[in-house]
Amino acid sequence: MEQFTLDEAQRWIGRTVMAKTAWNAGSTPMAAEQQGTVIGVQGEHTLQGAPCLCLVVQLWPEKHGDVPNVLFVPKPTFNKHLCLSHTVEEPPPSERDPAAGERGSVAQAGWPMRPGRGTPMAPRQRTHLVQQLLEEALLMQGVLEEAMAAKHAEGKQVEGSPHITDDEPNPTPASTVQETHASWEKIWRGLREIHTELEKITHAEQHKREWLTSSA
């Protein structure tokens, strides 16, 4: 059975993938074009030979509050059911030609560049940046939900305690924690919309490159 090498598997970490068609990954169904992020590599021991390496794919929750599912995907299953979320992915900065720079990716897409303008990001960098912010927004919501639960328990404890003095420090109001949580929730929703639009732009750039190549 074909397997990932360690170097090959590690190069997938941080990339966004999606399902080619709907399929069932064990007990976890994955809808067509549903996306996820490769967050790591896991080795599964076999009776013979070296461990089988699997990509650890965290699926994006369909709605806020859902617990993200995690899949462990060997290479044959990955090749059959998953692919990059872009048709063509830009190479990482360390593998790109330094002389060409990232400006080359924009020129290849066929968009005009004016002298003196700043260098635009490559498609992969844009989506990776937004993905990092999405993960941060989910993390902060979880932290604040724990803080709200602690505030609720603290409030019950204070109500039942007869020994409250003016010298005790004032805790952060629960309303402040709730407002911060609501702000992070808005940020998460906005980032999801931004990511969707960036995917559309990436596909448009790819179609532009294909058209230029075919007409050359």
Taking residues 54-69, report their average pLDDT: 79
- Rounded to the nearest 10°, the torsion over CA 94, 7, 23, 202 is 10
pLDDT digits (tens, 9 = 90+) for 76-102: 999 999 988 753 344 444 444 444 444
- pLDDT at position 150, please? 81
- pLDDT at position 75, please? 92
Mean pLDDT is lowest, of 125-139, 163-177, 202-216, for 163-177
- pLDDT at position 167, please? 53
- pLDDT at position 216, please? 58
Better-predicted residue by pLDDT, 73 or 160: 73
- pLDDT at position 90, please? 44
In whole angstroms, give the CA distance from residue 101 to residue 104: 6
- pLDDT at position 78, please? 93
- pLDDT at position 100, please? 42
pLDDT at 49 exceeding the cut of 60? yes
DSSP letters for 60-81? PPSSTTPPPPEEEE-HHHHHHH
CA distances from 37 to 13, 96, 113, 125, 202 (A): 8, 22, 32, 14, 17
Per-residue pLDDT band at 172 (split at 50, 70, 90): low
Residues of the chain above pLDDT 70, percent:
68
pLDDT at 47 exceeding the cut of 50? yes
- Please calculate the CA angle 5-8-10 and round it to the nearest 5 degrees: 105
Residues of the chain above pLDDT 90, percent:
8
Of 101, 51, 99, whose CA–CA distance to 74 is shortest?
A: 51
- pLDDT at position 157, please? 67
- pLDDT at position 116, please? 52
pLDDT digits (tens, 9 = 90+) for 10-21: 888 888 888 999
Taking residues 151-157, report their average pLDDT: 73
- Cβ–Cβ contacts within 10 Å for residue 180, how many? 17
Strands annotated E in the chain? 16-19, 23-25, 28-30, 35-44, 52-59, 70-73, 82-84
Give the helix, strand, coil percentages of the chain, each rounded to 5. Answer: 45, 15, 35
Better-predicted residue by pLDDT, 57 or 214: 57
Tokens representing residue 57 in the block? 């794919």
In whole angstroms, give the CA distance from residue 90 to residue 122: 7
In whole angstroms, give the CA distance from residue 140 to residue 52: 34
Tokens representing residue 63 in the block? 């709605």
- The values of phi and psi at residue 93, to 5°, are -55, -35
Taking residues 95-115, report their average pLDDT: 46
- pLDDT at position 93, please? 43
Taking residues 114-136, report their average pLDDT: 74
